[in-house]
Amino acid sequence: MATERILNRFLGAFLLLTMSVPLMAEDSDRWVFRVYLDDREIGFHEFSVTDRAGGQDVQITADFDVKILFFNAYSYDHKNLESWAGDCLARIDASTNDNGTESAVSGQSSASGFVVNVNQGAAVVGPDCVRSFAYWNPIILESETLLNAQTGELVDVAIRNRGADLVQVGSDQLPAEKFTIEMQDGPIHLWYSPGARHWLALEAETEGGRMLRYVPIVLPHHESGNTRLVMD
């Protein structure tokens, strides 16, 4: 369906790390976004980042369903757990159900590079330091390639700083820095708080000219101080 084609282009990059998180450690940072296609809510994207010695562990839950009248026209579920060592991805274990098509990606850093298994087929895909589309980590803004967790492929990217902007968070307009990830499949727009670069929002235009938007419900940091922001 047309709706399926519209979403397929971006979902692999957006939904990188997915796992249910019923309880979180006190030292975890948590993001929860409502996801909209134009003005229609189609699901949510939730994940936590837990600090540990030398890196972070990341868990995320995401679920998209596009309904037309009384029918579920498109569904997407992606489950993943990533471990980071410093600024580099150390391990990934992901599974995806893309409207009934299932795939599995796992990977681990090794002496020969980052080794990825896609549906049980192994390949070395990158140098010692590989990064995924981990929007929570502003270090990705320095990258020239990013790992797509759905396909196991390294994607060439060019990341542009668009300068100062404002972003709507709840009832407030917050100062932000806007960045664009440019790639063959089209741009992804990201907003971060100035200075500390805490991730605030995401938008991408689909092939049909519709807008996919992440609207925050819970953010781990508020730009005026490191306090948790929770909105109804």
Query: Residue 119: how many CB atoms within 10 A of its CB?
Result: 10
Q: How far apart are CA 11 and CA 13, in angstroms?
A: 5
DSSP letter for 5, please: H
Is 126 within 8 Å of 114 (Cβ atoms)?
yes
Is 182 within 8 Å of 160 (Cβ atoms)?
yes
User: Quick one: 228 exposed, middle or buried, by C-beta within 10 A (0-12, 13-18, 19+)?
Assistant: exposed
Q: How far apart are CA 97 and CA 31, in angstroms?
A: 22
What structural domains does the chain harbor?
2-230 (2.50.20)
Residue pLDDT, tens place only, 119-168:
878 787 777 799 999 999 999 999 999 999 888 999 999 999 999 999 98
Contacts of 47 (CB under 8 A, 6+ apart): 17, 18, 21, 30, 31, 58, 59, 60, 61, 62, 136
Residue pLDDT, tens place only, 65-84:
888 766 777 888 888 899 99
Q: Could you tell me which residue, 169 or 131, shows the higher pLDDT?
A: 131
Angle at 84 between CA 79 and CA 90, to 5 degrees: 85
Kindly state the average pLDDT of the residues 92-118. 89
Kindly state the average pLDDT of the residues 183-210. 90
Is 79 within 8 Å of 19 (Cβ atoms)?
yes
Residue indicated by tokens 């500390």: 196
